[in-house]
Homo-oligomer: A and B are copies of this chain.
């Protein structure tokens, strides 16, 4: 009889808050032993000598197989998005079960369970509420939360998607009653509409004007506002995709007075700037996502906010819109205005390599903090910890082997998503996943997804950890 189904040996393992040389023994998809020179039989061996072993990435923010809307036309199915994730070292995704106005949330979640059967990695859902009716909040929500859908997403902007403050207050109350977290896209809708109209009227419609249509003050304001609402009702919230200094400062102020507010940023805000929108021709359209990329100073401020604990999560906000074609950003035109271009970029595969390179290699964070930001804290925040996000006894054997010396030039082909471009085309990074394991099974190797039946399963999430009793 074998002691282990699989033994990963010889790697330097990021286990909890230390990086140690150790072997990992796996049985039934679960980590059952960590040891220096683990002895015992194993059905299979993986030699991780010279590799770094991290937990599988947990991506708390990805748009997959979502209803088309002028503001974003997502091109990835669960199959394509999650094979992309696997290649990039991510083994768990919290995607969105996206309610359309007038629709049942219960049915929405049921639909997404069907769609997600194609997933190559484990998954859970944020429930995007675009129509906060009493039926949704009173009748449907309790059972859905009980079934493990422990978070709600609301938008403060986008016509037909965003909900107004009074609806948000109802959502916050319902979240509080049911023990759910509320995740927020925070930008001031009216100010963006106003600035957009002014720019369009002035004929300033090239992509480079997009950031002016969504000024950081619009984000700062909305962050301050949602904090005030959540603070008054005492409900924990997570601010999605903090893009720069001003919103980060608002969050820091709130945390300092004890508000339960958590914050995420994404690699695009750390790697791209608004200058990328000023590339020749329509090329800038590839960098249209909201909130927009800001400045070098904002990047610096985000690293500082990561260091100080103001920002504790880094997700992808994977939101792949095609570039070419009628359903793409360009809609087949090379003179399209920024206000007509769907928002969103692909990024589920690039998240970890980008952050590893620009974060760890650049000296902003160490490997332990890296794993905190992309594995442990997302898992904790979304009720999946310590099953996910950590290499510990009893945790799922979701592992990523990294060759930290490998130099890679990013291309769209390497991403294995359904999108026809990557905004990171041509960027060089050092360090890349060489193998990704999901519950002990190899799902990607040497940059290629492993062909096999979908193996992802739904993760019913625990009650939200951060809610005080």
Contacts and interface: CB of A to CB of B under 8 A. Distances in A.
Interface in A381-440: 385-386, 390, 392-395
Q: How many copies of this kind of chain does the complex include?
A: 4
A18 B380 CA distance: 10
A34 B36 contact: no
Given A38-B33, A166-B190, A232-B218, A17 B20 contact: no
A142 interface: no
Contacts of A238: none
A149 to B, nearest CB: 24
A32 interface: yes
A118 to B, nearest CB: 31
By DSSP majority rule, is chain A's interface helix, strand, loop, or mixed? mixed
A20 B394 contact: yes
Contacts of A221: 224-225, 228-229
A40 interface: yes
Interface of A: 3, 13, 15-22, 25, 30, 32-40, 164-166, 168-170, 173, 188-191, 193-195, 215, 217-218, 220-221, 224-225, 228-229, 231-232, 252, 255-256, 258, 304, 307-309, 363, 372, 376, 385-386, 390, 392-395, 468-469
7 closest cross-chain pairs (CB), A and B = A16-B16, A33-B35, A18-B386, A22-B393, A221-B228, A165-B190, A166-B190
Given A16-B392, A32-B36, A188-B228, 9 more contacts: A15-B15, A17-B372, A20-B386, A20-B393, A33-B35, A39-B40, A191-B229, A191-B232, A195-B232
